[in-house]
Amino acid sequence: MTLLERVDGPARLRGFTTDELRELAGEIRGFLIDRVSRSGGHLGPNLGVVELTIALHTVFDSPHDRLLWDTGHQAYVHKILTGRRDGFDRLRRSGGLSGYPSRTESDHDLVENSHASTALSYADGLARADAHNGVTDRSVVAIIGDGAMTGGMAWEAVNNISGGPDRPLVIVLNDNGRSYAPTEGGLAEHFRELRAGADGRNVFEQFGLAYLGPVDGHDISALREALTRAKGEPGPVLVHVVTEKGKGFVHTETDDLDRGHAIKPMDPETGLPLASPSGPSFTSVFGREMVGIAQERPDVVAITAAMLEPTGLLPLYERLPERVIDVGIAEQHAVTMAAGLAMGGVHPVVAVYSTFVNRAFDQLLMDVALHRRAVTFVLDRSGVTGDDGPSHNGMWDMSVLQVVPGLRIAAPRDATRLRELLREAVAWKDGPTLVRFPKGAAGRDIPTEARFTGMDVLHRSGSLDVLIVSIGALAGVSLSVAEGIREQGIGVTVVDPRWVSPVNPGLADIARRHRTVISIEDNSRVGGIGSTIAQALRDARVPTPFREFGIPRRFLEHGNRAEVLSGCGLDVRDITLAAVEALAESDALTGPRPAPDPIDEGLYRLAHDARPNGGTDS
């Protein structure tokens, strides 16, 4: 039996010698390389924290002592040591282990922490609660790394942790010099000085924190000694641990860009992906188009928040590095800085994951939209992302951001529409624009049969019975639903508004001529595009019954995209049945309405205004 096979919980570690712990670290690295290479996931961050996690679990008694991981993607080793090794056979798959801490998996996971820079605030609250309740026999430990210290919320917490009465609280700074890519900026430079042993007081001591380090994050003895000292401190203390992201695996150690931060399933011998490419992704299409736009438009710059390569901006950075700004994990700053750039005559393109734009809502609303600044937001990973789990699904962006006055939202269905809509967005000068698309391959282009007041007609057959309003990347689903409806002898039309918010007023005209209308979107049904269309049709006194299909108001567990969408009722069979039922219910209530002529060329007149939504805000 290997040492790893003997570990059924953290208490087992305390019976190992230091040499055995070092041997265990090697076994854990081999295990991670084997399992994560099969499933994909965050390999590099976890290879870098093997010894640190072992040391934490020998010094502290989890779950009695509270261990909080920021960001949670560096918690794989923690999962292994807390009895979840067998679950790695289904890592990030439906019914398997989450790629982040999960309260449903283990009492050792206190928070489901996958949005960065939050653990110090959780820790401050827990330490204050213990003090309030007179609890003195346990520690609160926040492990913060992978660039999370560049987030402003972390420093708000530091300010409060160090500014109050002394409470025991241990901050472990896992300093690997990186988030996805190497961290830049003044704080990164200061950390480099600390790693080099520069003299003088450091920023943490200036805040009033006790400081220990820097400590070699791959030396278990040194780590245990430093953590034991920190545990005995009566007040807050920071342990500065220096680690190497991707340590122990040739393909991550030699990756100068992101050190294997998040990998797809691959051959561990060659480092090559196991699956052949399924065509260009939405992300790569955006990245290539941005290069062309920037070369044509000297006023265009790109901004990202520690997501240079994942959001597709690496090609632009390689061509025009001075035109790309990486602010670190600081979405709020990114958005207000973009407003300032726009005030100065620059057109910023802010590229972030959909789930992270939530963090900058106030800045988008008050700093960009209120001032009618021409800033373009590009949201990657919109809709269902799947294997990253509930915190990373981009299912709220259209619900949250439709309330912003003057913001125009586009949802491209394929690569050609992404290129077109991105260019239209960057050309818009009268306020902010937003283009959103999902994770994964863009798939085949879906052609336009006709154009109606700025909307693409994707399909029309038979009488004008059912109108399907297809939102973004679910166009393929919409067309399959249309085919299922048509096979039952029911006429069907499919339109793609392209610019989905504000609602194109032409929708009222086309909806009035159909017997029932449905919308299909990979966004929350609550406050989604469907809800807004329904409101617009009521305002226009359109009597046609309407039903929206989208994601229910609940957090979605991890699994592949198709599984998650199906679990939400967003599969072809379920929608087809519901659409036919909706038509029958409408007829039962009101009686069959006379259908317009099957071919109504006047309805589908070719009309197109270059302004998004035809320039109308109704």
Q: Is 113 annotated as a binding residue?
A: no
If 0-12 CB within 10 Å is exposed, 13-18 middle and 19+ buried, where does residue 222 land? middle
Q: Is 73 annotated as a binding residue?
A: yes
Cβ proximity of 353 and 379 under 8 Å = yes
Q: Is 102 annotated as a binding residue?
A: no
Residues 357, 361, 365: CA angle, nearest 5 degrees: 130
Q: Is 146 annotated as a binding residue?
A: yes
Q: Is 31 annotated as a binding residue?
A: no
Side-chain half-sphere of 170: how many Cα atoms within 13 Å?
27
Q: Is 189 annotated as a binding residue?
A: no
Cβ proximity of 223 and 55 under 8 Å = yes
Q: Is 116 annotated as a binding residue?
A: yes
Alpha carbons 320 and 299: distance in angstroms, whole number: 13
Best CA proximity match to 193, nearest among 175, 180, 208: 175
429 is catalytic: no
By three-state DSSP, how is residue 300 classified?
strand
581 is catalytic: no
Q: Which of 359, 381, 408, 460 is catalytic?
A: 359
Write the CB contacts of 10 (distance below 8 Å, at least 6 apart in sequence). Answer: 57, 58, 61, 62, 81, 82, 108
Alpha carbons 73 and 115: distance in angstroms, whole number: 10
Q: Is 176 annotated as a binding residue?
A: yes
Alpha carbons 511 and 501: distance in angstroms, whole number: 17
Strand 499-501 versus strand 408-410 pairing type: antiparallel
Q: Is 114 annotated as a binding residue?
A: yes
Q: Which two tokens stand for residue 584?
A: 């029958």
| Residues paired with 546 in a beta bridge | 517
Q: Is 131 annotated as a binding residue?
A: no
Residues 335, 337, 338: CA angle, nearest 5 degrees: 60
By three-state DSSP, how is residue 517 classified?
strand
Best CA proximity match to 108, nearest among 149, 39, 147, 56: 56
Q: Which of 245, 408, 413, 515 is catalytic?
A: 245
Q: Which of 51, 112, 289, 331 is catalytic?
A: 331
231 is catalytic: no
Annotated binding-site ranges for Mg(2+): 146, 176
Annotated binding-site ranges for thiamine diphosphate: 73, 114-116, 147-148, 176, 249, 331
Annotated binding-site ranges: 73, 114-116, 146-148, 176, 249, 331
Which sequence positions are flagged as catalytic? 245, 331, 359
